Structure 1
């Protein structure tokens, strides 16, 4: 399991991060054996392009999933070098599973339509649509009250 430790101080070292996580991997406070091992740690920096703010995060690779879940519970919201950190599971995303990758390009015609038009697929005509959501109060093209009453009387 891979843990991500968010919001760590900028002067942090990888061995300090490992020393922070290691006590959370112990089975019990007074028992000396551990249920998981730290395989590797690394620290990376992300830069927000809009605000030019740097944020530092650490990844901790642990060999056992149960130990990783226990470490998340013990370390989330704790202080690391006088800064409160957030500990979560790190997920590796695959490009194949991204729903946005295969989307069709939206045409300008669709973008220019009003919200009510997109929901009902109604063309600008004088006739009322055959099927519409009569309970949608935001819809511009609602069926008249008389038409609704006739519909429910059938």
Structure 2
């Protein structure tokens, strides 16, 4: 299961993240019950640039097996302080424009139903860069950059 860790500090390294997650995966006793032990797979840090606001965000996607250990990890780490910042931890969902519930095969029905959303939930024009090593404040690598286009 993939886990999304939001709001990382700018000085975060991959090693820091791996240690933070590994400590939470260590076995602990809860009311005579052994908590699930998991294995840490990959750990990807992504940098999100918003050219409109000139803001930069850092997030992480961590793969943990089995899913029971991943759920336990979410409960342990959500709201924890990591390098002076409170992080948000949740299950990661991969999005695809092909799975948009607003797009149906029956075009006539969708034309009759007016769109009630004022804007798309996803931010348009952001640039996502996956950092493969080093600290998050390293210079961006153009090879890993994705541009998210507007869905209108």
Using the size of structure 1 for normalisation, the TM-score is 0.60
2:38 counterpart residue number: 36
1:117 counterpart residue number: none
Q: Give the aligned CA root-mean-square deviation in angstroms.
A: 2.8
2:124 counterpart residue number: none
Name the structure, 1 or 2, with higher relative contact order (CA <8 Å, separation 6+).
2
The number of residues matched between the two structures is 107
1:24 counterpart residue number: 24
Residues 95-134 of structure 1, C-alpha deviation per residue, up to 9 Å, x if partnerless? 3321234485869xx89xxxxxxxxxxxxxxxxxxxxxxx
Tell whether 2:11 aligns with 1:11.
Answer: yes
**1:91 counterpart (82, 90, 93):** 93
**2:76 counterpart (74, 77, 85):** 74
Residues 56-81 of structure 1, C-alpha deviation per residue, up to 9 Å, x if partnerless? 00111112110111011110111111
For structure 1, the 5+ residue unaligned runs are: 112-154
In 2 relative to 1, CA 50–102 (structure 1 residues): closer, same or farther, beyond 3 Å?
farther
Larger strand proportion, structure 1 or 2? Answer: 2
Larger helix proportion, structure 1 or 2? Answer: 1
Determine helix, strand or coil for the equivalent of 1:27: coil
- Higher Cα radius of gyration: 1
